[in-house]
Chain A
Amino acid sequence: MEEKIDFIHIKNEKIFTVFHIPDTTDVKKAFVFIHPFAEEKLWSHRVYVSFARELASQGYYVARFDFRGHGDSDGDFVDSTFEKHIQDIDGVINHLKVKYQINDISLFGLRLGASLATAYASSKDEITNLILWDPVLNGERYMQEILRSNLAAQMALKGKVEITRDDLVEQMKSGSPINIEGYLLTYNYYNQLSGLDLLRLDHRKSINCLINQIVRNPKQPQNKAYAEFIEKFSVKSELVKSHEEQFWKEIKTFYQSADNLNSSTLSWMHDLK
């Protein structure tokens, strides 16, 4: 198994990409990994790396990349937009097609990364499979969670919340980005992500989709919204639960890989063949 790190170019900007290349493969199939939002990307990074290596060992090509304004790619977070994210995914897929001659391409994502993967797949005909770990179905609710982290930071610094959630939105509207754990969030980006509603999107019935719901307690019931969402995809699609911790934030456990998620995902992929 080989790993190549490279910059690919999109609109004169560099996108940092890691290509995992399997030793042997019968049919060339690739996965593009879409990372989650801001600091969640860093906390879950090692889990992404481990899963990419696992897939490559099973004969799949994997491309992991940083959106512009994230990780080692060009640009600043404050300039992030939904359109740029779609362009970046497009750029990585084109690179796989041109440089590696791969046309069977699937997308994988966690949390907001899963949402962006779904949004991309809904607008393109070329995606074969979608693997979604704990996807954010409702962008508006998710962005409210994001705003909460600003409130928590205010509490830590000043002992009270001086700028409410509504004030934060007004601040963004007036052109001043707000600070989310060191990332500057603009109204445009906030508004675009808030507008993501996967249940309302038109999805292609031909896509095979796996939703892997992450549960901290195995007895936790199936997420009803996920159950409704999975119906929008092919008959081979499935909603499964995997017992894991919330490794996309700082927790006591050091998460190098999400073994339950890996094995349930690989098992679904095996059944697809």
Chain B
Amino acid sequence: MISTPVTIKNRNGLKLYGILEQPETTVKDTAILLLSPGIKMRVGPHRMYNKLSKVLVDKGFTVLRYDFYGLGDSEGALDQKILVDVYNSIQNGRYIDDTIDAMDWLGATYNIDKFVLGGLCGGAITGMLAGSADERVKGLIALGLINVFEGGEDNFSKFVTEGQLEDLKKGYISKLTDIDSWKRIITLKSDFRTIFKILFKPIRVISNSIRENLTASSKNKIEFVHDESSNTNPRFAPTFFSMLQQSKKMLLVYSGGDRLLWEFKEKFENIYKSHLSDYSHIYELHTIPDANHILSLSEWEESMHKLVEEWLQKNF
């Protein structure tokens, strides 16, 4: 593998720092950009991107890992003082331009005009937002694709999903014989709002099924539902369908122990189920059982590598 430190000037004149990794022999005509997750720079948590890049380069792809402005080694600064606000700004498309600028640079420097965008969490949503707007993008590798804005712990009980509640319910049941848990209840340290939600769960299930029927009745025309009181990202559904309508292949990998899987299923997939069935050949969704958000165990990471390799072999 040939690794080269590179700097890319974005449209605002800020230098973005990165590493270009290329195979030593046969090179495919498609480059893969690994987009920084959240505020963690181009290496990703526990160097996840370095390890993934090696897998991709071994398959003949050119890979660019780089830092968006204001992050990692790159120039620039962000206005936000709170981490959640940074995350939300990324989910709202803060780094679309930096992604397009990096593709422009690869096009001008290495004459590459076909791209697959990939990333974890914030990197995945950035890839989808940029990918739907740029015809050079042919595919997306989305690890833990996020469809909701971060509400922080304070809003946990407001936006919690049914799947999370189900998991919590199991946890609460297992704690019925635990003295410490009872102490927490007695000393009012328990999260009563969440417990209350678990008790009233059936009402929420009914409201979701009504919504599903409503969307199913208008099968030919997609009506994007956005409830102002929910935490869903209003750009998510239109962008996801834009990717599908442009036949841009998408690999979605979720971690079984990550709330994002439930967010996606309940706040997107269940709602648009009837429309999504038309595009089942364009996107595939895999879950790595029990895994956490950052795939910290080697076996989880290897499962992800295998899924990515198979998907690339099938599509690129």
- Contact flags B273-304 to A (C-beta < 8 A → 1, else 0): 00000000000000000101011111001000
Of B74-82, B132-140, B188-196, B218-226, the one contacting chain A is B74-82
Residues of B within 8 A of A159 (CB): 171, 174
Closest to B6 in A: A5
Decide: A254 and B46 in contact? CB cutoff 8 A.
Answer: no
B296 CB contact (under 8 Å) in A14, A18, A179: A179
CB distance from A19 to the nearest CB of B (A): 11
Q: Is B238 among interface residues, defined by CB-CB distance under 8 A?
A: no
Closest to B175 in A: A159
Decide: A256 and B17 in contact? CB cutoff 8 A.
Answer: no
Q: Is A270 among interface residues, defined by CB-CB distance under 8 A?
A: no
Residues of B within 8 A of A252 (CB): 82-84, 152
Residues of B within 8 A of A170 (CB): none
Of A41-49, A100-108, A121-129, A198-206, the one contacting chain B is A41-49
Decide: A182 and B46 in contact? CB cutoff 8 A.
Answer: yes
Given known A-B contacts A45-B41, A72-B19, A157-B290, A254 and B78 have beta carbons under 8 A apart: yes
In whole angstroms, how far apart are the Cα atoms of A254 and B15 in the complex? 21
Residues of B within 8 A of A38 (CB): 46
In whole angstroms, how far apart are the Cα atoms of A157 and B295 in the complex? 12
- Contact flags A62-75 to B (C-beta < 8 A → 1, else 0): 00000000111000
CB distance from A161 to the nearest CB of B (A): 14
- Contact flags B28-64 to A (C-beta < 8 A → 1, else 0): 0000000000011111011110100000000000000
Residues of B at under 8 Å CB distance from A? Answer: 3, 5, 7, 15, 17, 19, 39-43, 45-48, 50, 70-73, 77-78, 80-86, 152, 171, 174, 257, 290, 292, 294-298, 301
List 21 interface pairs A-B (beta carbons < 8 Å), by A numbering: A18-B17, A18-B73, A42-B41, A46-B71, A71-B43, A71-B47, A72-B5, A72-B19, A72-B43, A153-B292, A156-B257, A157-B257, A159-B174, A179-B296, A181-B296, A182-B45, A182-B46, A182-B47, A250-B83, A251-B83, A253-B83
